[in-house]
Amino acid sequence: RRGGEASEDAGRQEEEEAHENVEAQEGECIQEILYCLLDAKGSSLSTSSVQVAINSSVIQLAKANFSLVVTSIFSFLENRQSSEGHQLWLLRLFCQVLETRRSDGDGRVSACMIDRALARDLAHHLVREVAKLGQDDSRQQAIADVLVELAPMYPDVVLSGVLTMLDNCGSASLAPPALVNILTEIAYTTPHVLDGRIHEVMGRYLPLLQSCKAPEMKLLLFRAWCSLCVAMVNCAMREPGDPLS
């Protein structure tokens, strides 16, 4: 009997390993397809209708395998050399992929998650990239949109990345406007992600506001400060069990 049980266990293990191998091969195949689609977005022959078709295909894949699509787009952005226009299209597509989390209700949100390590790498990469770009570069806003969509999944990761980069700027006048706008958008659209951290965020943000001399940046900072104040009130008024919206 013991020999039979051992044989059954070995058989089950072989089946599990075979299943895992098939899944790994399928994942590699899907990733190759994704890379081809992402690469095609930068083609000079890619018309607007082709762009729409590519976006639709990638979004459909994301609904079936969210984490794999997010990983693939991030890997492509991080490792492939591409033009500014290509990067902008990819970032906008990336934002659309992240938006699928809230397209079909709570079930969709729970299914569309990425692990914390990937979120941290992604947030840090994007924050570093946005700090390198000129203020009139459209990619700044595109990156900001991606980070705002990422924030509800891992608010501490995104907030820490943004605040650390703002701290490192040394002067509010040198801070990328997109980073300030990220705080404004997060506070305005998803104030609950600041719950428990609002005083820390405002404490680190206030010195930037106080030291800023540039009028345009001062206005952005005031807008962000107002949004943070509203978020603080919303967090204070929310009762336990209230929906996070």
One pLDDT digit (tens) per residue for the chain, 245 residues: 555 556 666 666 666 666 566 666 777 888 888 999 999 988 877 788 999 999 999 999 998 889 999 999 999 999 888 899 999 999 999 999 999 887 655 555 556 788 999 999 999 999 988 888 887 889 988 998 999 899 888 888 888 888 888 777 766 666 778 888 888 888 887 787 777 778 888 887 788 788 888 788 888 888 888 888 888 887 777 654 454 44
Cα torsion at 19, 23, 28, 32 (round to 10°)?
130
Name the one residue in this structure whose structure tokens are 């492509």. 76
pLDDT on residue 126: 93
Q: Are 183 and 152 in contact (CB under 8 A)?
A: no
pLDDT on residue 175: 73
Q: What pTM value is reported for the model? A: 0.78
Handedness of CA 127, 161, 77, 53 (dihedral sign): negative
**Distant-in-sequence contacts of 74-77, Cβ < 8 A, 24+ apart:** 74/118, 74/121, 74/122, 74/125, 76/34, 76/35, 76/38, 76/39, 77/125
pLDDT on residue 19: 58
Closest by CA to 161, choosing from 125, 195, 133, is 125
Handedness of CA 194, 102, 154, 242 (dihedral sign): positive
Closest by CA to 136, choosing from 216, 192, 19, is 216
pLDDT on residue 69: 93
pLDDT on residue 97: 94
Domain chopping of the chain, boundaries = 19-109, 113-238
Amino acid (1-letter code) at residue 202 = M
DSSP per residue, the chain = -HHHHHHHHHHHHHHHHHHHHHHHHHHHHHHHHHHHHHHHTT-TT--HHHHHHHHHHHHHHHHH-HHHHHHHHHHHHHHS---HHHHHHHHHHHHHHHHGGGSS-HHHHHHS---HHHHHHHHHHHHHHHHHS-TT-HHHHHHHHHHHHHTTT-HHHHHHHHHHHHHHTSSGGGS-HHHHHHHHHHHHH-GGGGTTTHHHHHHHHHHHHHH---HHHHHHHHHHHHHHHHHHHHHHHPPTT----
Instruction: Measure the CA–CA gap between 62 and 180, rounded to whole angstroms.
Output: 29
Phi, psi of 154 (to 5 degrees): -140, 75
